[in-house]
Amino acid sequence: MLIKRYFPVVSLLVALVLPNALAQKTPIEITADLTDAPRKLYHAEIDLPVKPGPLTLITPEWIPGTHMPIGPAQEITGVVFTADGKTIPWRRDDVNLYEFHLTVPDGATHLHAHLDCIVLRRISQKLAVLEWEKLLLYPADTPVRDIPIEPSVKVPAGWGIGTALTPVGSGAYPVPASGSTTRFEATNVEQLEDSPIITGQYFHEYPLAPTITPKHYLDVVADDPEDANMRPSVLAEVANLVREADALYRCHHYHVYHFLLTLSDVAGGEGLEHGQSSDNGVGEKGFADDNHQLPEADLLSHEFTHSWNGKYRRPEGLYQPDFATPQHGELLWVYEGMTEYLGNVLAARSGLKSQSQYRDILAMTAADLDYTPGHDWRSTQDTAISASLLRGGNPAWSNWKRGQDYYFEGELLWLDADTLIRKLSNNKKSLDDFERIFLGKGGNTGPLIVPYKFDELVEDLNQVVPYDWAAFLRDRVNKINPQVDLAGIEQGGYKLVFNDKPNPSERTMAAAGGRRRGGLDCWYSIGLRINSEGNIADVLWNGPADKAKLAPGEKIIAVDGQIFSNEALRDAIRKAKGSSEPIHLIVQADSFVHTADIDYHDGERYPALERVEGTPDYLDDITKPLTTPEKVPETKKDTD
C-alpha cells in the first residue's frame, strides 16, 4: 500500500510536472570556469531571470550522499551582483548563512552574479573535479527540481572532460573540449547538482560492455599519464561489473552512466554517488596492480549500486525539496548498509576481487564490529540518525563511541537476510529477488527519486519469502545488541575465527600501504590501534591496553627494553604467550613519560573465516558471477 501511495506521486511530479516547468520558465545560465584549477580556484558567471523587488538566493548546504550539512559556503568568495550594469548591494541572512538577500531594481529582468570558490579537495595541477554545489546560486523559495538551468564549463586548454551531462550539438561522448566554453543541454538544479564533471590533462574515456544499453563509460584523469592508461584486466572487470549489475537489477535509472575516476595522491580519496555517474578518487597507483587494487576493489561497485539504492530509491527522510532542509538519516542502514553489501558482492561477482578476498575482508569487517564495545550502549539505528555527527570523527575512543556503523552493520544485516532467504527457500530465492522488486519498481527510467518508508522493505521482503521481516529488521537495527550479527556468516557456511597470522588479504593490504599505515594490527590481541611510529590512535575499551591505562594520543617509545618498532612489539606479544610476565612499555603522554605493563598472554590474533564442512556454502553461491565473465587479459592473482 505504501508503495502505491508514494511511487506514483513522485514519478508524476518529476516526470510530468518538471518538463512543463522547464518549458515555461527561462533557465538560469551558469558558466563554470575551471581554467584557474591549478591555483585551486573556480569561478562562476551566473545569469538569473528575475523580477523587480526583494529576492533571496541560496547556495546548497545539505549535500546529497554526504549525509551532512557541508555545503561550501565558507569557501565561496568574491560575490558580486549586477543588473543592467549596476552593482546591487546584498546582505547575508542572519540565521541561514547560505542565503543572500538583495532587491532587484525596477525594470531589471536579469541579474548577473559572479562568485569564486576556493577549492581545497579533489584538485591538483593536472586534474580537477567539479561538484556543482561549489558554484550554484539559485532562488531560495523554489524546489530545486523546478528550477531550470543551462550549464557550461571552461577548462584549461587541452584538458579532457568526463561527465554524464549531455553536450549540446552531437550529444555524443567523449565531450568535445577545446579550451573554449563547452555547453550542455538544459537540466534542473537538482539534476545539475547530481552531475559532476572531471577534467584533466591526462584523460581517457573507455566505453564499457557495448552489448548493454544504455551506454556506460569509465572516464579517468590522473596526475601521471601512465596511470590514466588503465590495465586491460581492470577494464574487463569494470565491464563485468556493468554486466553483473544489469543481471542483478534487470533495470536501470539513467540515460547514460559514467564512472568518473581520479588517480592522484594530491586530489585525495573520494566516493560520492550520483544517479548517472559517480565521483571516485583513489591514489595515483590505486589500480596500478592487484595489490593496490584490493583496498579499492568495491569503490566503483558501491557507488554504481547507489544509482539504484540511494539515488532512485531513497529513504523519505533523506529526500528534501531543496538542499537547505536537514536530512534524516534513520534509514541509512538501507541506503548505505545495503549498498555496502551489494557493492562487495558485485565486486566479487565481477572479479574486481576474488571470492576468497571477499571472505577475508568480510572477516575483517565482522571482527572489527565484534570488537566495538560501543554496542553496549548505542543501537545501529542511532549511528544512522547521528550520521552527521559521526562522519570523519576523531579515532580516539571511537570503538566506545561507535562510528558510522550503519554501513558495516548494515552489510552484515543484509548478508543475514540473504542467507536466511536462501535457507528458507532451499536456495531457490535470494536477496537478488528482493532487489529486483524493491529497486526495479517502474522498470527502466531516467534519473528519478522515488522515496520509501520502512514498511515497504517489509512488504517487498515478504513477496520473496514470508517471514516476520519487521521484527527481523527492528531487532537488529533498533535494539541495543551487545553482540555483532554473525548469523549471515554462519548461515553462509563459515565461522569467524582468529589465527596467529593475518589472512592473505590483510597481508596484501598491509603491503600496499593499507588501512593501518604500516602499523601492526594488534587490536584483537592487546587492543591497540597504532601506526608504525608507535602513535596510539585508539585503545580497545576494556581490552588489555585499556586495563594498563594506555590512552589514544600517547606514543609507545620502548617495548620490553627495546626502542619501539613493529617487530619489537610483535616479538613482545609472541614472547608473552604462555608466560606470566606482562609486556613492559615506556610511553610518552603529551610532554611526560610513564611506564605501563600489559598483562596479555594469548599471542597474536588476526581474523579469518573458516569453512564449516557439511553446511551449505551460501557465501560462495552469493559471490558467483551471474553472467559469463569477460575474458580478463592478465592473470588475476588470488591471495589464496
Residue 429 CA to its chain's centroid (Å): 28
Closest to Zn ion by CB, 73 vs 439, is 439
Closest to Zn ion by CB, 122 vs 204, is 122
Q: Least separation, in Å, of the C-beta of 335 and Zn ion?
A: 7
The residue type found at 252 is H
Closest to Zn ion by CB, 322 vs 336, is 336
111 contacts 139 by C-beta, under 8 angstroms: no
In this structure, the number of other CB atoms found within 10 A of the CB of residue 129 comes to: 29
Which residues within the stretch 351-380 sit at the binding site for Zn ion (CB under 5 A)?
Answer: none
Closest to Zn ion by CB, 195 vs 339, is 339
Q: Least separation, in Å, of the C-beta of 379 and Zn ion?
A: 20
Q: Least separation, in Å, of the C-beta of 273 and Zn ion?
A: 6
Closest to Zn ion by CB, 67 vs 422, is 67
Residue 565 CA to its chain's centroid (Å): 34
Closest to Zn ion by CB, 264 vs 339, is 339
DSSP letters, 297-320, are: TTHHHHHHHTTTBTTTEEEGGG--
Distances (CA, A) of 177 to 170, 304, 331, 437: 13, 26, 41, 41
Q: Least separation, in Å, of the C-beta of 402 and Zn ion?
A: 18
Question: What CA–CA distance (Å, rounded) separates 569 from 558?
Answer: 9
Which residues within the stretch 327-356 sit at the binding site for Zn ion (CB under 5 A)?
Answer: 336, 339
Question: What CA–CA distance (Å, rounded) separates 552 from 284?
Answer: 31
Task: Provide the grid cell at 49.
Answer: 531571470
Closest to Zn ion by CB, 336 vs 506, is 336
Closest to Zn ion by CB, 299 vs 457, is 299
Q: Least separation, in Å, of the C-beta of 274 and Zn ion?
A: 11
The residue type found at 521 is D
| Reduced 3-state DSSP string for 339-396 | HHHHHHHHHHHCCCCCHHHHHHHHHHHHHHHHCCHHHHCCCHHHHHHCHHHHCCCCCC
Residue 471 CB partners (closer than 8 Å, separation 6+): none
Q: Least separation, in Å, of the C-beta of 306 and Zn ion?
A: 6
Closest to Zn ion by CB, 227 vs 411, is 411
Q: Least separation, in Å, of the C-beta of 544 and Zn ion?
A: 34
Q: Least separation, in Å, of the C-beta of 301 and Zn ion?
A: 11
Q: Least separation, in Å, of the C-beta of 366 and Zn ion?
A: 19
Q: Least separation, in Å, of the C-beta of 302 and Zn ion?
A: 6
Closest to Zn ion by CB, 336 vs 435, is 336
Question: What CA–CA distance (Å, rounded) separates 549 from 541?
Answer: 10
Give the relative orientation of helices 454-464 and 2-12 as an angle to the nearest 10 degrees.
Answer: 120
Q: Which class for 481: exposed (0-12), middle (13-18), buried (19 or more C-beta within 10 A)?
A: middle
Residue 325 CB partners (closer than 8 Å, separation 6+): 62
Total number of residues that touch Zn ion (CB under 5 A): 2
Distances (CA, A) of 333 to 194, 410, 448, 534: 22, 5, 21, 34
Which residues within the stretch 28-47 sit at the binding site for Zn ion (CB under 5 A)?
Answer: none
Query: Which residues of the shown chain bind Zn ion in the complex (CB under 5 A)?
Result: 336, 339
